[in-house]
Amino acid sequence: MNSFDAGIIGGGLAGLTFSIQLAKAGHSVVLFETHTYPFHKVCGEYISMESWPFLQRLGVPLDDLHLPRINQFRISSPKGSLFSTKLKPGGFGISRYTLDHLLAGIAREAGVMVLDGTKVDSVSWTGSSHEISAGNKTYSVKIAAGTYGKRSNLDRNLNRDFFLNPKPALSEWMGIKYHVNSDIAENQIELHNFEDGYCGISRVDLGRTCMCYLVRSKKLKEAGGDVNVLEEAVLMRNPFLRDYFYKYPSLYESPKAISQINFQKKSAIENHILMAGDAAGLIPPLSGNGMSMAMNASAMLAPLASDFLTGKLDRENLEQSYATQWEQKFSSRIRSGRLIQSWFGNPVLTEVLIGSANVIPGLAKGLISLTHGKEF
Ligand SMILES: Cc1cc2nc3c(=O)[nH]c(=O)nc-3n(C[C@H](O)[C@H](O)[C@H](O)COP(=O)(O)OP(=O)(O)OC[C@H]3O[C@@H](n4cnc5c(N)ncnc54)[C@H](O)[C@@H]3O)c2cc1C
């Protein structure tokens, strides 16, 4: 049996950043990731500036990567009405292929045992620790962190409510991503709405542009399960998207896709597993803030976990403090994101909102601030 202070399940942004902080604090850490780095992920790849200092502190050389800095926002309705505004403090663009790979390298250097290409099959609670089964081995860990993203085999194992009792309006979404070469301005992020979904477009590293959309799964069913038909029949009714889909062909042979995206409420602790990132709660992507929230949760959890591992905090207090801090920091952001997303799925409401934003200064800024937090 392999024993570690912490076992981290899922090597996305929450898991990798959590692992680095714990290893730097002197704890033994094993991290499991199903895929092998580097790999592409469905994500808009726009990161709010909130997490710039944190990533730099962890050792990501952001200044040397010459990343697009984004401070201008354009949004259109399904018919093509447009609103633009400055984004303050804005964000930056970096592909998940690059960022997750860089973080995995930093984690290894910090001493984390990074087991990529290794899927966790189950986690069980022994009464005082967890046992994690992965790749035909069992690992004993004092702390188990669930950083496995939006949805995983482990949600079924843990009988999580959102998994067992999905609410159709909040649980039937899918995401599609392309990388393209485009001439859209480097400092701009665009969000183009269409019936039952929206598509974000912004520049990332290596001169590429990320085009990523979220759509209700029923739209794909109506299109006979064919993504090309869906894009032609639904997305391209928006004149901006029609133009972009014709001008900017995908650099992938086929799009990256994920289904069964669920925005229902989740819990930050399950069977003594500390959940962070999307596994604890998923904010609708139109906020452009899920990645910063995932990293922010790890920054909040790391000192508490370290106090537990050094005997300064007992398990009950660790779990209570983390769950309370998580609620205080993120739950109202997620609620606001869900509400805003429900308005933008509706073509008439989107038209009204964009019209209102053009005549009410401060409306857009107010909505954006509801889903964002401070630098950490
Ligand atoms: C369409 C779409 C667009 C988005 N655009 C943006 C955006 O522009 N900006 C933004 O900030 N956020 C965006 N988000 C949200 C953002 O992608 C997530 O909030 C963020 O990736 C969460 O990080 P995480 O570490 O929680 O999960 P993830 O990054 O998803 O990482 C979880 C990892 O766990 C692994 N895993 C799962 N199960 C297991 C298992 N059993 N064993 C081992 N490994 C496992 C997975 O392979 C995965 O690598 C978007 C989301 C969607 C759906």
What pLDDT, on a 0 to 100 scale, did the predictor assign at position 358?
86
pLDDT tens-place string over residues 59-110: 999 999 999 999 999 999 999 999 999 998 899 999 999 999 999 999 999 9
**CB-ligand 1 contact for 189 (6 Å cutoff):** no
Residue 149 Cα, ligand 1 centroid: separation in angstroms?
Answer: 5
- Report the C-alpha gap between 81 and 238 in whole angstroms: 9
- pLDDT band for position 345 (cuts 50, 70, 90): confident
Structure tokens at 180: 């393209």
Q: Mean pLDDT over all residues of the chain? A: 95
Residue 41 Cα, ligand 1 centroid: separation in angstroms?
Answer: 7
pLDDT tens-place string over residues 29-40: 999 999 999 999
Q: Which of 92, 93, 90, 43 is nearest to 365 (CA)?
A: 90
What pLDDT, on a 0 to 100 scale, did the predictor assign at position 159?
94
Strand-pair category, 2-9 with 29-33: parallel
- Report the C-alpha gap between 335 and 350 in whole angstroms: 19
Atom of ligand 1 nearest to the CA of 118: 43
- Report the C-alpha gap between 27 and 279 in whole angstroms: 23
What pLDDT, on a 0 to 100 scale, did the predictor assign at position 191?
96
- Report the C-alpha gap between 297 and 54 in whole angstroms: 12
User: Within 10 A of 318 (CB to CB), how many other CB atoms are there?
Assistant: 21
pLDDT tens-place string over residues 255-269: 999 999 999 999 999
Q: Which of 9, 97, 20 is nearest to 55 (CA)?
A: 20
- Report the C-alpha gap between 263 and 155 in whole angstroms: 14
- φ/ψ (deg, to 5) at 9: -105, 105
* CATH number of the structural domain 2-370: 3.50.50.60
pLDDT at 1 over 70: no
Residue among 213, 217, 278, 292 to mutate when testing ligand 1 (max atoms within 8 A of CB): 278
- pLDDT band for position 346 (cuts 50, 70, 90): confident
- φ/ψ (deg, to 5) at 14: -65, -50
What pLDDT, on a 0 to 100 scale, did the predictor assign at position 48?
96
Give the residue whose CA is nearest to atom 15 of ligand 1: 290
In this structure, the dihedral spanned by the alpha carbons of residues 288, 294, 299 and 305, taken in order and rounded to 10 degrees, is 170
Q: Is the dihedral of CA 270, 275, 278, 279 positive or negative?
A: negative
Give the residue whose CA is nearest to atom 1 of ligand 1: 175
Q: Which of 277, 289, 300, 269 is nearest to 336 (CA)?
A: 289
pLDDT at 23 over 90: yes
Atom of ligand 1 nearest to the CA of 119: 42
- φ/ψ (deg, to 5) at 343: -70, -40
Atom of ligand 1 nearest to the CA of 176: 1
pLDDT tens-place string over residues 151-207: 999 999 999 999 998 888 777 899 999 999 999 999 999 999 999 999 999 999 989
Residue 150 Cα, ligand 1 centroid: separation in angstroms?
Answer: 6
Grouping H, G, I as helix, E, B as strand and the rest as coil, residue 51 is: helix
Atom of ligand 1 nearest to the CA of 200: 8
What pLDDT, on a 0 to 100 scale, did the predictor assign at position 288?
84
Question: In the chain, where are the structural domains located?
Answer: 2-370
Q: Which single residue is written with the structure tokens 């869906």?
A: 230
- pLDDT band for position 363 (cuts 50, 70, 90): confident
248 to 94, 147, 178, 209: CA distances (angstroms):
19, 34, 10, 9
**CB-ligand 1 contact for 47 (6 Å cutoff):** yes
Percentage of the chain lying above the pLDDT 70 cut: 100
What pLDDT, on a 0 to 100 scale, did the predictor assign at position 154?
96
DSSP string, 316-370: HHHHHHHHHHHIIIIIHHHHHHHHHHHHHTSHHHHHHHHHHHHHSTTHHHHHHHH
Strand-pair category, 2-9 with 188-194: unpaired
180 to 186, 212, 229, 251, 366: CA distances (angstroms):
14, 11, 19, 5, 32
165 DSSP 8-state letter: S
Residue among 8, 13, 235 to mutate when testing ligand 1 (max atoms within 8 A of CB): 13
pLDDT tens-place string over residues 234-259: 999 999 999 999 999 999 888 999 99
Residue 277 Cα, ligand 1 centroid: separation in angstroms?
Answer: 8
| Backbone conformation region of residue 90, classed left if phi is above 0, alpha if psi is from -120 to 50, else beta | left
pLDDT at 344 over 90: no
**CB-ligand 1 contact for 155 (6 Å cutoff):** no
Percentage of the chain lying above the pLDDT 90 cut: 86
pTM: 0.97
